[in-house]
Amino acid sequence: MEGVEVLFERRGAAGLITLNRPHALNAFGIAAVRAMRPQLAEWANDPSITRVIIRASGERAFAAGGDIRAVYDLHQAGRTEEAIDFWREEYQLNAEIRRYPKPYVSLVEGICMGGGVGLSLHGKYRVAGDKYLFAMPEVSIGFFPDVGATHALPRLSGRLGAFLALTGARLGPGEGAAFGLATHRVPSAQLPSLLEALCLGKDVARTLAAFSVDAEANKLAPRVPLIDRAFAGATVERVLQNLDKEAAGQGEDAAFAKTQAAAIRTKSPTSLKIALEQMRIGATLDFAGAMRTEFRIVNRVARGHDFYEGVRAAIIDKDNQPRWNPASLADVSGAQIAAYFAPLAPPMQELPL
């Protein structure tokens, strides 16, 4: 059904969700969120539906994220509050997926970034196809790792969460499986057969296990000790100092450190400091607390400068020359960052969960 952002189907014992904007890498807007929430609630209360499966049209992307162009356009039209409505309802959907009472299975093929992570990572089962590509690249556009990243990333091993949050690094199926972002690795050619088997109503865990194969080697594994050393820094400035020190050496570690430091230095200074603070406090928060924290942050970011400047540079003008404000890490104070995390004061309202 061309033009419909998300499709729903009852297929055997399964409720099947299909993200349906392949031309836009399945980026989704508030209409998709508002369609998914009541449908999930209906299936939760339907005894004939014993599992929910989410997949995407096309092979390039599961979902590249929320429709940030639409959010940008709303802000330009003076309708920022409507943009905040999108994040409110998206975060509520993320929480509903997290506590869903039936097995929720994501078949992730292609790009899975930003909002796509929120639609998949919090469900019980995440299946990585051959083209699986995970990233949280929000700091590149003056935003921050949201959709539950405040809870999920700090719980990855070592300092991997801080590494992903600050660099926007991309992980393939081998890394996704090794780090627990994917629960199963299934060859892309077998995904249609897996889908049909799941719809037959047999035990979900056993069916997934029957189709799973050993994941590829974790290409990032040799760099994990370096990541744990460098990204243990308590500040972004310290992380960069650590990386610069590593980069002064020889070999693959030095080259990797140089690349990561260079990548970080292109990001929004404010976003970087928000992201590292998320990693610090997120380890102490339950999922609901993390989502409320993200909604506090987004209320401030949506009324600021860097996010819209980042979208302009990456998507509107495509000059890839964002003019961040403040322009340097030194100009972003601890007090400024703390203000992003503070409780919301009227007329802003906390996230209802």
Structure confidence at residue 2 (pLDDT): 59
Structure confidence at residue 4 (pLDDT): 85
Q: CA–CA distance from 139 to each of 14, 231, 264, 274, 349 (Å)? A: 37, 16, 9, 9, 25
Whether 183 and 191 have beta carbons less than 8 Å apart is answered as no
Q: Which two tokens stand for residue 215?
A: 């994941």
Under-50 pLDDT residues of the chain: none
Strand ranges, E, within 152-241:
184-185
Strand ranges, E, within 170-309:
184-185
Would you name the residues annotated as active-site residues? 66, 115, 138, 146
CATH 3.40.47.10 fits 6-135+180-211, yes or no: no
CA 87/CA 93 separation, integer angstroms: 10
- Give me the sheet containing 111-113, strands edge to edge: 61-63, 111-113, 133-135
